Chain A
């Protein structure tokens, strides 16, 4: 068996008595753009945080490039969180410096170039930027790394269609082709064209994992349609294992 980039075996994560991941299994190889699709509360964000080491599962095995989350895997992963994580006093330049200091694969010239294109003044402090601009800066930082695994948590939620296009094009044009991009979202129709593969997640389990063109070929329908169908037929209500 060749080496998988992501391997999860029987991963459980609880918040109090609420189970976010229920024995999740997942295998993912490198060099792909993958959609992590599921309704709200299905465990997408939890899975991403388990992969990047922000959450520790109670049970199960998580391997990234053959290693459990730690120093090595953190140097491989470029993570876009679902909310901004910067302290307001930092200037855009300070952030570039920080990324340059800690990530060997950060391409500062590229980041500066992307800022220039968007006409973002890199001497401004984060707290003075609008919400949309902050998100763009964050995307620039994440995509300026030549990472092995990009974990993008809801990159297109809550932005207008034009910004959505900008974000998707930025991801497509800048990701490291040898790396894998995992994009979580519930806005499938906007994103399905750029995906190689989709993972459907529900109630903390992977219920389907398939190549998107295989879905179109076999089912004769778009991923968006399939998604609506799958999540309609499975009856709602917890405790389904």
Chain B
């Protein structure tokens, strides 16, 4: 059943996101060519030492434009994550979803998985579009990129087993943190729908409230484990500290996801308030 739910969720968002995912790199490409066109055009007049300032401003406007598109793109991703949960489960469409013979956890997990997939693709498309913009707008970018690449991997990092483990851990951590953020929003909405009126305000307040609780808990934990604990942490600092640190972060995020999930599931199972 979970697979079927995900199929429907993906279907419902793909009609908005697929055009966006196709359009953004195209906009980046068009932008990069216009930047290139302008810079050659100004290059010709620069010899007179005249338009240097103008060129800089134009480049800046273009960059701001692209930056604006990227911000809009991510804001839309976030808004859509919220909207799919709010409208899909807590408004009229919820009448359909909550009368389907599926378990409540399947409804939530299906929304979370879809939102995570969409966010990941959006981020990849964002990176890809920035690369397009950079590569095509100036010739120098590729050479400087190649130089930076060589420097980073030749001098700063060594590509060995350790590096690969860390790299994979980082990616997993990134995805788990993404899921954590998605669930944070879901939990806030689940709590918010308990309000008799002003459900949206309730959701916003619970979002802030949850953030505060998490940060207080974080501080408490830190105090307990680091400052007043009798253990000598220095003893544990060894050459695998970076891996251990990533694993601890991963553990904390996974726990957060689980707690958010249980709270959301319990609220929607026992206190659903579809009026």
Residues in A lying within 8 Å of B, measured CB to CB: 15-16, 49, 52-56, 71-72, 74-75, 77, 79, 81, 83-87, 89, 94, 98, 101-103
Contacts and interface: CB of A to CB of B under 8 A. Distances in A.
Contacts of A49: 274
Interface in B172-229: 196
B96 A86 contact: yes
Nearest to A52: B99
A198 to B, nearest CB: 25
B15 A89 contact: yes
A52 B274 CA distance: 12
Interface string B37-54: 000000000000000000
The 8 A-B residue pairs whose C-beta atoms are closest, nearest first, are A75-B101, A85-B95, A74-B101, A16-B196, A85-B92, A54-B274, A85-B96, A81-B95
B98 A53 contact: yes
A52 B4 CA distance: 21
B141 interface: no
A74 B99 contact: yes
A79 B99 contact: yes
B86 to A, nearest CB: 13
Contacts of B96: 85-86
B131 interface: no
Nearest to A75: B101
Contacts of A53: 98-99, 272
Given A16-B196, A89-B12, A54 B98 contact: yes
B272 A55 contact: yes
Contacts of A77: 99
B237 interface: no
Contact of A87 (B1, B93, B103, B273): B93
Contact of A84 (B1, B92, B274): B92
Contacts of A102: 1, 4, 100-102
A105 to B, nearest CB: 10
A49 B8 CA distance: 24
Interface in B97-130: 98-103
B12 A55 contact: no
A56 B87 CA distance: 20
Contacts of B4: 101-102
A98 B15 CA distance: 17
16 contacts: A16-B196, A53-B99, A55-B274, A56-B271, A56-B272, A71-B101, A71-B103, A74-B99, A74-B101, A79-B99, A81-B92, A102-B1, A102-B100, A102-B101, A102-B102, A103-B101
B140 interface: no
Nearest to A58: B271
Nearest to A81: B95
Contacts of B275: 15, 55
Contacts of B8: 98
Nearest to A141: B96
A23 to B, nearest CB: 20
Count chain B CB atoms within 10 A of each CB in A52, A89, A101 and give the residue with the most: A101
B270 interface: yes
- The interface centre, meaning the residue of A72, A74, A87 with most chain B CB atoms within 10 A of its CB, is A87
Interface in B248-275: 270-275
A54 B103 contact: no
A55 B98 CA distance: 10
B76 to A, nearest CB: 16
Nearest to A72: B101
B270 A56 contact: yes
Interface in B155-186: none
B106 to A, nearest CB: 10
Contacts of A94: 11
Nearest to B269: A56
A79 to B, nearest CB: 5
A61 B221 CA distance: 43
A140 B93 CA distance: 18
Contacts of A101: 4
A72 B102 CA distance: 9
Contacts of A79: 95, 99
B93 A85 contact: yes
Given A54-B98, A74-B102, 14 more contacts: A15-B275, A49-B274, A54-B95, A55-B272, A55-B273, A74-B100, A74-B101, A77-B99, A79-B99, A81-B95, A85-B92, A89-B15, A102-B100, A102-B101
